[in-house]
Amino acid sequence: MNVYDSELVGSLLEECDYTLTQDMSEADAVFLNTCAIREKAEETVHNRLDNLHVLKRTKPNMILGVLGCMAQNLKDDILESRPYVDVILGPDSYRRIPEIIKARQGEMDNFVDTRLSKFEVYDDLFPSRHDGVNAWISIMRGCDKFCTFCIVPFTRGRERSRSIQSVVDETINAVSQGFVEITLLGQNVNSYRTPDGEFPELLKAVAKVEGVKRIRYTSPHPQDIDDALLEVMRDHSNICNYIHLPLQAGSDRILKRMNRTYTQQEFLDLVDKIYEYMPNCSISTDIIVGFPGETEDEFLETLDVVKKVHFDSSFMFKYSSRPGTKAAEYTDQISEDDKQNRLERLIVLQRKNTLSANLRHVGNTLSVMVEKVSKKSDSQWAGRTDGNMWVVFDKTDEQIKDIVNVKIEDAKGITLFGSRIHTEELIHEAA
Ligand code: SAH
Ligand code: SF4
C-alpha cells in the first residue's frame, strides 16, 4: 500500500516538474512515506529522520516531509521533537503536495494536514510507476473492522471504495505502460462496495481487461470471503489461485479479544471451502504471537491451526502495543521473552511447512511468469507461480513477462528450482 501511495505522490511531484532520484544527497525534496503498524516500523522512520536531519543541515533548502500513517498518528510528537520536518501529511492529504511545493518557493512554516476524509480515494490520479511486471492498484482505503490490536482504522480512517470504472481505467493505463500483472490493494479488499458492484464484480471487470495476464489481491478479511468471490477466482484463469488469509491467532478466546469476528472452526471451514473451489489454491497468512493475555495453551492452539492448514507461507509478528488501540489498554501484556520464544517456535514450524509444501511440487510442471534475472546468476531467471512461489530456472528463449512451463526439480528454503519445458500446452499448477 505504501509503495502505491508513494507512486501517487511521485505522480503529484512530477506535475510540479520534480523527477525521481536514487541519490538522496541530490534531492531537493525528500518525503518519507511511513507505516505505523508496529513499533519497529516507527523506529525505522525515526532513525531515517535522524540521518536526514544531518543531510538537511548541509542543505537547508531541502524540503523534508513525513507522509502516511505515522504522520497521522504522531504529528504532535514530530512537530515538537523534530522541528526540522517541513511537511506532515496524513494518507488523505497527498493532493496538497503541489500547493505546498509552490508555497515553499516563497517562505513558510511547517505545513501539517492530517485530516482524514470520508471520500478521498484518489480516483482520478494515476500513480507514477516504474518498470516492472506488477502494477499495484489501490481499490479501497481505510478500514472499519477495528481489530483491537490494529492502528489502521485510526490512521487511515473510514472504509471507502473507488468506482469499478476508475479501477478498470487504471488497469488499462497500467497495461498500456507494459505491466501484465495487477495486484489490487486495500486494507480489506473484499469489503469493497460500490453502487455498481462488490469485490467479485470488480475482479471480473479487471480480469476482462485485455493484456492482464495475472491478477492478485491483498488483503482479504476471512469474514468477507464468500462463494461469489471463490467462483470468480475459479472461473477466471488470469486470477491467481492464491489467497492471503490472515489467521492472527488460533484460540477462540484470543480471536474474540482481537475482535476478529470468526472462530477457529469457522476459519478451518473456510479453508476447506477454498480447496473445494480451487484444490490447488495456495494460502498464506498473518499471525500475531503474544497478544495480551495469550496463555501457553492458547499459543499452542495457534500452532495447531498452522499444522492443520499447512499454510504455504506466513508473515509472523510479535504483538506490538499501539497506543490508542483497545488492546494497548489490556493490563495482561505478555513479556518480551515469551513473545520472542513463541515467535521462534512458530517460525520453525512454518519453515518446515513451507519446505514440505515446496517439496510437494518436485516433479510437477508449473506455470511461471518470468519476472527478473536471478540474483545468483545472470544466466537464470526468477519468476513466480500463480500460487506466489519463487522459481529459478536456466534461461532459454523466453523473456520477462512471459508465462512459461517449468518442471520443478528441487526445493530449497522458499525457492523452487527447475527447467523450462517447451510445450504449447499451458499446464495449470498441479497439486
Ligand atoms: N487488513 C489486513 C491486515 C493489515 S496489517 C487484515 O486484516 O488482515 C498486516 C498485519 O500486521 C496484520 O494482519 C497483523 O498480523 C499485523 N499487525 C497489525 N497490527 C499489529 C500489532 N499491533 N502488532 C503486531 N502485528 C500487527
Ligand atoms: Fe487492521 Fe486489518 Fe483488522 Fe482492519 S481488518 S483493523 S486493517 S487488522
B/e letters for 161-194, b = 16+ CB within 10 Å, e = fewer, are bbbbebbbbbbeebbeeebbbbbbbbbbbbbbeb
d(CA 226, CA 328): 32
Domain ranges of the chain: 2-113, 118-240, 242-359, 365-430
Mean of the per-residue pLDDT values for the chain?
Answer: 93
Strand order in the sheet with 111-113: 29-34, 63-68, 87-89, 111-113
The answer on pLDDT for 430 being more than 80 is: no
When pLDDT is cut at 50, 70 and 90, the band that residue 73 belongs to is: confident
Q: Are 279 and 306 in contact (CB under 8 A)?
A: no
Interior angle at CA 429, CA 428 and CA 431, nearest 5: 130
Q: For residue 287, report the distance from its CA to the centre of ligand 1, in Å.
A: 8
* 242-359, CATH topology level: Transcription Regulator spoIIAA (3.30.750)
Q: Is 118-240's fold the same as 365-430's?
A: no
User: Is ligand 1 within 6 A of the CB of residue 320?
Assistant: yes
User: Best substitution site from 255, 285, 286 to test ligand 1's pocket, by max atoms within 8 Å of Cβ?
Assistant: 286
221 ligand 2 Cβ < 6 A? yes
Is residue 92 over pLDDT 70?
A: yes
pLDDT of residue 431: 41
Tell me: cis bond preceding 191? Omega within 30 of 0 counts: no
Query: Which of the two residues, 77 and 431, has the higher pLDDT score?
Result: 77
Query: How many Å lie between the centroid of ligand 1 and the Cα of residue 222?
Result: 13
**pLDDT at residue 276, as a whole number:** 98
Q: Which CATH number fits domain 365-430: 1.10.287.610, 2.40.50.140, 3.40.630.30, 2.30.110.10?
A: 2.40.50.140
- In CATH, what number does 118-240 get? 3.30.750.210
Residue 288 CB–ligand 1 contact under 6 Å: yes
Which position has the higher pLDDT, 30 or 428? 30
**188 CA: nearest ligand 2 atom:** 5
Do 182 and 174 touch, CB atoms closer than 8 A? yes
pLDDT digits (tens, 9 = 90+) for 245-281: 999 999 999 999 999 999 999 999 999 999 999 999 9
- C-alpha cell recorded at residue 311: 499454510
* CATH top-level class of 2-113: alpha beta
Helix, strand, or coil (residue 300): helix
| Residue 251 amino acid letter | S
pLDDT of residue 106: 63
